[in-house]
Amino acid sequence: MTAPEPRRGAFTLSDGLALSYLRWGRPQDPELVLLHGGGLSATDWQEIAPELAAAGYHVTAPDLRGCGESDWDPEVRYGVEQILADAGELFDHLRLEQFVLVGHSLGAVAACVYAARNPQRVRACVLEDGGPADHTRPASLESPTIVFDSDAHALAALGKMLPRGVPGWVLETRFERLEDGRLTWRSDIAGRVRWSAAGGEPLIPALWPYVEAIRSPTLVVRGGESTLFRVEYAERMTALNANIGLVTIPGAGHLVHCERPVEFTSAVLGFLAGP
């Protein structure tokens, strides 16, 4: 059976930029929100979201500012506090009172902070390969290519992020084609480089108090071969807060939900089903 197409919506943020989002499932079902990683988009969840909807959740995945179909920010405000401000406006716009919150990478950092600050709204939280670290600047933004001469060139770049195989849909969703036939990122990667050069994300090394403050049941999902989210940090999170559990997905790197979608979905749904 073919999964239904998501419903796309958009609204205007208080600063005038448009924020786009995708939704799957029945509005009467419990709400679940997916926050993608830096420079990615809501379409990154397209293998996961239909399964979560089929399991009985109404799923919302925004394109964070500067990503996917959302407007790029001329002031390159791409940090966690801005993600949280935009998410708060989205939740109010969609009248989401209580929900499960899932975040990947930078989205996981944002989800951790939001869950700690808003225990009354977050029923449960999933943090995918993201959390505290000893740096502020994402290594992926050190020297990125912005324009690619060919599909093969773009796929080679994706292969560095997805060494265990690039899903067929990724080329179409991550890039757009220029008039001369070359490809460029759909997201504002150049702007994110400027943001990173200006200091990056100060909340990443300062995340521990938020980890300790989370009161919602929380699951950390780490890729067993991830080089971006160290195992000692994941284990320290569980030691610091009894509300936090840890699942490691063997054979996955940083993008667990893309590299091992079945295992990731199973881990999330098993966690949400409870003991």
DSSP calls for 131-150: ---S-SS-GGGSS---EESS
Per-residue pLDDT, 93: 97
User: Mind listing the pLDDT tens digit of every residue in the chain (275 residues)?
Assistant: 445 679 999 999 999 999 999 999 999 999 999 999 988 999 999 999 999 999 999 999 999 999 999 999 999 999 999 999 999 999 999 999 999 999 999 999 999 999 999 999 999 999 999 999 887 766 555 567 889 999 888 888 877 777 667 777 788 788 989 999 899 988 999 899 889 888 888 889 999 999 999 999 999 999 999 988 999 999 999 999 999 999 999 999 999 999 999 999 999 999 999 87
| Cα–Cα distance list, 84 to 77, 105, 112, 146, 236 (Å) | 12, 14, 11, 27, 24
Per-residue pLDDT, 2: 47
Per-residue pLDDT, 144: 75
Per-residue pLDDT, 155: 84
Per-residue pLDDT, 158: 78
Per-residue pLDDT, 169: 78
Roughly what angle, to the nearest 10 degrees, separates helices 80-94 and 106-117?
60
The rounded radius of gyration (Å) of the Cα atoms in the chain is 17
Residue 106 covered by a domain: yes
φ and ψ at residue 245, rounded to 5 degrees: -110, 170
Residue 96 covered by a domain: yes
Per-residue pLDDT, 134: 85
Per-residue pLDDT, 1: 41
Residue 200: which residues within 8 A CB-CB, separation 6 or more?
A: 135, 136, 137, 138
Residue 186 covered by a domain: no
203: its two tokens: 């909340």
Residue 156 covered by a domain: no
Residue 46 covered by a domain: yes
Q: How many domains does the chain have?
A: 1
Residue 143 covered by a domain: no
Could you tell me the CATH number of the domain that includes residue 87? 3.40.50.1820
Residue 29 covered by a domain: yes
Per-residue pLDDT, 228: 87
pTM over 0.85: yes
Residue 145 covered by a domain: no
Q: What is the extent of the structural domain holding 124?
A: 7-137+200-273
